Amino acid sequence: MDFSPITTNTLLITGTTGQVGSALLSLFPGALAPTRADLDLTDPFSIRACIRLHRPRWIINPAAYTAVDKAESEPALAHAINADAPGILGEEAREIGASVLHFSTDYVFDGTKPTPDLESDPTHPLSVYGASKLGGEQALAATGAAHIILRTSWVYGATGKNFLLTILKLAAARPELRIVADQTGAPTSAADLANLAAQIIAANPTESGIFHATSQGETTWHGFATEFLRLANITTTLIPIPTSAYPTPARRPANNRLNCDKLRDTFNLQLPPWQTSLAKVLNALSTSS
């Protein structure tokens, strides 16, 4: 799809050094991409000054505090970036008639539902990170600004910090790895999310709301690792373990699956199967190395 009509200074993207942010910037090289010096999401004055200076038509906010375990010991910082900042972005967007496309997470749920979560299901985050992201959703919606919130899961890509790159690095150095096998979700490519955001903006939506946006299909962390090591032709042995055998400061939902029917029904959009996107990411890694 040609997105050139919106690759102008009417689009402001936060967090362009992150996985989704950098993918968005590659689609929109003419977009406003403020650095932290220009837009500090921990500083309300900085946020307001940046938006008032540039007056974008769309604000895309993939920036987040994503250190799930570290957030347990840094709740104030996590909430400043994940909960407070989206509300301030929304307030400023409302004042200039802009729209906000904000990314959230499956961690707003507790993972106890046996079927994929709907947008309308009750939220119950288990961690500081999940609570902070839920706070951001609520703060943005409360401003009355036009907004689209995309909840996603298990984001990875060819750059940045993510599960895929971590396991590939470890697999090159160790003969076997122990991988959690009782958490289920949909690994979702950062590039796919960037393309989805661009298509939604191009559709010029008139109604605000929350939409679940993950790759099609499901797997476990063990299944995900098994598939990408197979595709990468790496023979490290993967040993499946329960979550209880890998304790972490933050609790994770056991069921990370999200029902994405609303996205399909509203925009006629859906992400590819996770296996398809994984192969593309691994191909990008092999051609860049």
pLDDT per 10-residue tile (average), the chain, 289 residues: 55 95 93 94 97 96 97 98 98 96 98 96 97 98 97 94 93 93 96 97 92 98 96 94 94 95 96 97 83
Rounded to 10°, the helix 190-202/274-288 angle is 110
SS3 for 102-118, per residue? EEEEHHHCCCCCCCCEC
The answer as to whether 174 is a domain residue is no
In contact, 89 and 59? CB cutoff 8 Å: yes
In contact, 262 and 203? CB cutoff 8 Å: no
The answer as to whether 288 is a domain residue is no
Give pLDDT, residue 160.
85
Nearest CA to 211 among 147, 272, 150, 135?
150
pTM of the full structure: 0.94
The answer as to whether 44 is a domain residue is yes
The answer as to whether 204 is a domain residue is yes
CATH number of the domain where residue 37 is located: 3.40.50.720
Give pLDDT, residue 3.
46
Quick check: is 129 catalytic?
Answer: yes
Give pLDDT, residue 287.
78
Give pLDDT, residue 279.
96
The answer as to whether 236 is a domain residue is no
> CA–CA separation, 47 vs 215, rounded Å?
32
Number of domains, the chain = 1
Range of the domain at 13: 4-158+188-216+257-272
The answer as to whether 286 is a domain residue is no
Q: Could you tell me which residues come within 8 angstroms of residue 173 by beta carbon, excluding any fewer than 6 positions away?
A: none
Q: What is the pLDDT of residues 47-99, one digit of tens each?
A: 999 999 999 999 999 999 999 999 999 999 999 999 999 999 999 999 999 99
The answer as to whether 170 is a domain residue is no
> CA–CA separation, 249 vs 275, rounded Å?
30
In contact, 100 and 148? CB cutoff 8 Å: yes
Among the listed residues 65, 129, 156, 246, the single catalytic one is 129
Compute how many other C-beta atoms are within 10 angstroms of the C-beta atom of residue 43.
15
Nearest CA to 185 among 264, 259, 265?
259
Read off the amino acid at residue 227.
Answer: E
The answer as to whether 83 is a domain residue is yes
